[in-house]
Amino acid sequence: MEVGETYEVHWPHSSVGDCGTVNQYQTPFYDGVFCNLSMEQFAAIAVDAQNIASNVGVHGQVFTVVNDEQYFYPDMMRGMIIDKQRNMGTDIHYYTGSTTGTSRSNEMCSQYAPITWQVDRQCHMISASSFDKLCHDMLLQRDDMKDDLYPHGSRELVMDSLVANNAADAESLAAAAAAAAAPAAEAAPEEAPAAEEAPATEEVATEVARNGNLRA
């Protein structure tokens, strides 16, 4: 890795991996993500690929490497950097995609799809020493992670026709949540016609028609 270059870092997350144990971080990352996949879960994925998206996701963040220690972050190992003062990890784009890499293309799809992606939309400066610390932490893991100590290539840009149509960001999600929380509007019922005054000797039976409608 070189100062002045820009890199994207991925942190896979999985409910069928070994999160919270000494086996959480593994190379290749498929081992860590799927190491506790049961036959029942495997069968469920075969029936409905949404079961992958419901159990496996990736955080992504883009960095430009600088020689400036004010941008040092000591723990890149354990997930996306959240720093509100520098707008890091606060402007997130959500979408479904797949595992990535140079072996994937617009002709060769990933067999691990759809994957839920949550990607920081901004590019951030980070010190070279932050990546030195990350590599140090990776070498301390139980599994041999040396094959992930260098930057891997990215896949070719995805064709528009293959891009997921469910992308969302914080603003659109907040707007959707606000709309869902708003009470449903209720149309006012029509006023009933005034009953004519009946003779005192007769009983009056007034039927009021109500045509109020509820809009969900």
Alpha helices, H only, 13-69: 29-34, 39-47, 50-53
pLDDT of 72 > 90? The answer is yes
The pTM for the full model equals 0.74
Question: Tokens 């996949």 identify what position?
Answer: 37
pLDDT of 200 > 50? The answer is no
**27 and 145 Cβ atoms separated by less than 8 Å:** yes
* Nearest in space to 149 (alpha carbons), one of 167, 166, 132, 135: 135
| Residue 4: predicted pLDDT | 97
| CA dist list (Å): 129 to 1, 3, 5, 61, 148 | 11, 10, 14, 17, 17
Q: What is the pLDDT of residues 92-106, one digit of tens each?
A: 999 888 878 888 888
| Residue 212: predicted pLDDT | 30
Name which residue leads in pLDDT, 199 or 140: 140
pLDDT of 166 > 50? The answer is yes
Strand 92-97 and strand 168-169: the pairing is antiparallel
**120 and 199 Cβ atoms separated by less than 8 Å:** no
Pairwise CA distance, residues 15 & 32, whole Å: 10
| CA dist list (Å): 156 to 86, 114, 145 | 30, 18, 25
**Structure confidence at residue 120 as a pLDDT band (50, 70, 90):** very high
